[in-house]
A and B are shown apart, each in its own frame.
Chain A
Amino acid sequence: DAKTTQPNSMESNEEEPVHLPCNHSTISGTDYIHWYRQLPSQGPEYVIHGLTSNVNNRMASLAIAEDRKSSTLILHRATLRDAAVYYCILRLYTGRRALTFGSGTRLQVQP
C-alpha cells in the first residue's frame, strides 16, 4: 500500500479555518484519498474522500494537488468538537479493500 505522511499534531483556534496536510508521493492512479477522524473514546468516522477533483461536503473540503502527490483537508470553521486525530488514507481500487491507517494528525482546538 502507498504510504501517507502527516504532521503529528496541529493546533487551531475555534472558528478559524484549519488546513490539515497529507503527502502521498507514491500514490497510484487508482488510489482514492480518504479522510477519517477519531474523536476521543470513539471509533473513527468518515470525513470525506476523493480521486482527482476537489470535493466538498457538510463536514469539510478536500483539496487534491494536480499531481495527486498531496492533499489538504480543510475545516472551514473549527469547533471544539473537531478536536480529534485525523487520518489520511489511500484506498486501493483493487485488491485489499481495508483502510490502512497511519498515525494521523492530532488536532487541538483552542477556545
Chain B
Amino acid sequence: ETGVTQSPTHLIKTRGQQVTLRCSSQSGHNTVSWYQQALGQGPQFIFQYYREEENGRGNFPPRFSGLQFPNYSSELNVNALELDDSALYLCASSLEAGPNNEQFFGPGTRLTVL
C-alpha cells in the first residue's frame, strides 16, 4: 500500500510568483487536507477536500486555493507569494471527513520564498 506522497520535496520561489504543490493520497482515501507549518510551530489547517469539494477552510486568504481530482489526488496553489509563505506544506489523506478518522500525512514540501 503506497502512503501519501508529495511533490516537489523542495521549492524556491521569489516574492510575487505563483506555486503549485501536489499530493497523492493513500489508496482508497477520499479526503485530503492541507496544512502549513512554519519553522518551530505546529501545522496550521489551510483547507480540506472531500470527494472533490472543499469541505472546510482555515484562516488563510483566497490566494491559497486548491483542487481535488477524481482520483482524489490534490493540488495546493498559492498566488502572489509573500516572504511569510515560506514554510513546510503538509498534505494529509483520510478515508472519510469525520472526526474519528486518522489522517495520514505526507513528508511535506519545503517552500522557500525569497
A residues with CB within 8 A of B: 32, 41-46, 49, 85, 87, 91-93, 95-104
Contact = CB atoms under 8 A, between A and B. Distances in A.
A98 B58 contact: yes
A43 B42 contact: no
B66 interface: no
Contacts of A85: 42
Contacts of B99: 32, 91-93, 97
Interface stretch (B12-20, B68-76, B77-85, B102-110): B102-110
Contact of A98 (B41, B45, B107): B45
A49 B99 CA distance: 10
Contact of A100 (B45, B98, B105): B45
B26 interface: no
A46 B48 CA distance: 18
A18 B61 CA distance: 40
Given A96-B56, A103-B42, A46 B103 contact: yes
A48 to B, nearest CB: 10
A12 B41 CA distance: 22
B48 A97 contact: yes
Given A32-B99, A87-B42, A44 B105 contact: yes
B33 interface: yes
Contacts of B2: none
B43 A99 contact: yes
Interface in B1-16: 4
Contact of B100 (A49, A101, A104): A49
Interface in B46-96: 48, 55-56, 58, 90, 92
Nearest to A44: B105
B55 A97 contact: yes
Q: Which of B41, B98, B105 has the most CB of A within 10 A?
A: B105
A41 B88 CA distance: 10
- The winner among A44, A46, A95 for most chain B CB atoms within 10 A is A44
Given A43-B4, A43-B92, A44-B92, 15 more contacts: A32-B99, A32-B100, A43-B107, A43-B108, A44-B90, A46-B102, A49-B102, A98-B48, A99-B35, A99-B45, A99-B92, A99-B103, A102-B42, A103-B41, A103-B42
